[in-house]
């Protein structure tokens, strides 16, 4: 049975000497693993067209089990993401978060729309690090946890200007007056907490301009990765490279 579906490659794994397995997130929000025969030796374009982030029309055959990719009509290579190691590492984090948020055989149209939106925004020049924060925010509930950024979790104070950090002990933002309740709270700017709340609540189709100062994005990114580690016990593969890059950045 020959199938044609639009999709985005979210995962690639080498298989043997010449083959590889790619996973596409198709236009309906389902993950589809496909065997690509002779991908690493192909002169037909399959090697270039089966890279991470490629968006295209995938033509494959499938009867039982895994399908076999026949060809790809590329719509967008997203080649720029493979030229910049920073952009690539954070874009990889986006695909990894979305990949791991979708259960086997689950269909999630929202996940496809989110990934498509993220790649489009990065292409337009929006920071890939900021887009990784968005992916982490929008997928939180899929991993079984949530976070409160718009009020003090201890006192209920809704004045954003009074918030000074995030308490992992209580599971939300914390104000200066309640700081003594959790001496280990992560200190953050109230602007970081405010913008996290906005991004968390605002639907992606209502997001237009996304410009946030780098140091705020750094704070957001640090907090979100800590939340996933603390509440879901998750460490993403792309974090290793991200941590190395950020260390080098601080040293320079």
How many other CB atoms sit within 10 Å of the CB of residue 124?
9
pLDDT of residue 242: 83
Cα distances (Å, whole numbers) of residue 84 to 13, 91, 127? 21, 10, 12
Cα(180)–Cα(59) distance, integer angstroms: 59
Does 141 share its domain with 220? yes
pLDDT digits (tens, 9 = 90+) for 83-126: 888 899 999 999 999 999 999 889 999 999 999 999 999 999 99
pLDDT in tens, 155-204: 999 999 999 999 999 999 999 999 999 999 999 999 999 999 999 999 99
What digits encode the pLDDT tens for the residues 56-74?
999 999 887 789 999 999 9
pTM: predicted TM-score of the whole model, two decimal places: 0.91
> pLDDT tens digits, residue range 196-209?
999 999 999 998 87
Q: What does the pLDDT read at residue 45? A: 66
Residue 228's pLDDT band, with cuts at 50, 70 and 90, is very high
Percent of the residues in the chain that have a pLDDT greater than 90, as a whole number? 75
Does residue 43 fall inside a structural domain? yes
- We report the CATH number of the domain holding residue 11 as 2.40.50.140
Q: Tell the burial category of 149 from Cβ atoms under 10 Å away from its Cβ (0-12, 13-18, 19+).
A: buried
**Domain co-membership, 18 together with 120:** no
* pLDDT > 70: percent of the chain: 95
Q: Residue 40's domain spans which residues? A: 2-77
Mark which of 77, 110, 129 sits at the end of a domain: 77
């Amino acid at each position: 049975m020959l199938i044609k579906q639009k999709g985005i490659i979210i995962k690639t794994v080498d298989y043997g000497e010449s083959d590889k397995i790619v996973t596409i997130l198709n236009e309906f929000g389902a993950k589809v693993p496909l065997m690509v025969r002779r991908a690493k030796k192909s002169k037909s374009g399959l090697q270039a067209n089966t890279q991470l982030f490629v968006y295209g029309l995938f033509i494959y055959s499938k009867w039982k089990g895994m399908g076999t990719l026949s060809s790809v009509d590329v719509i967008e290579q997203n080649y720029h993401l493979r030229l910049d190691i920073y952009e690539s590492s954070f874009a990889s984090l986006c695909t990894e978060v979305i990949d791991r948020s979708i259960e086997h055989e689950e269909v999630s149209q929202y996940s496809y729309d989110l990934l498509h939106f993220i790649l489009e925004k990065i292409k337009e020049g929006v920071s890939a690090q900021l887009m990784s924060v968005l992916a982490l925010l929008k997928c939180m509930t899929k991993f079984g946890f949530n976070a409160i950024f718009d009020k003090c979790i201890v006192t209920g104070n809704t004045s954003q200007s009074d918030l000074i950090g995030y308490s992992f002990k209580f599971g939300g933002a914390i104000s200066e007056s309640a700081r003594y309740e959790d001496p280990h709270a992560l200190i953050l700017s109230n602007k970081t907490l405010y913008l996290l709340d906005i991004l968390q609540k605002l639907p992606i189709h209502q997001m237009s301009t996304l410009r946030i100062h780098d140091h705020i994005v750094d704070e957001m990114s640090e907090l979100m990765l800590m939340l996933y580690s603390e509440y879901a016990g998750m460490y993403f593969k792309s974090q290793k490279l991200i941590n190395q890059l950020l260390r080098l950045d601080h040293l320079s």
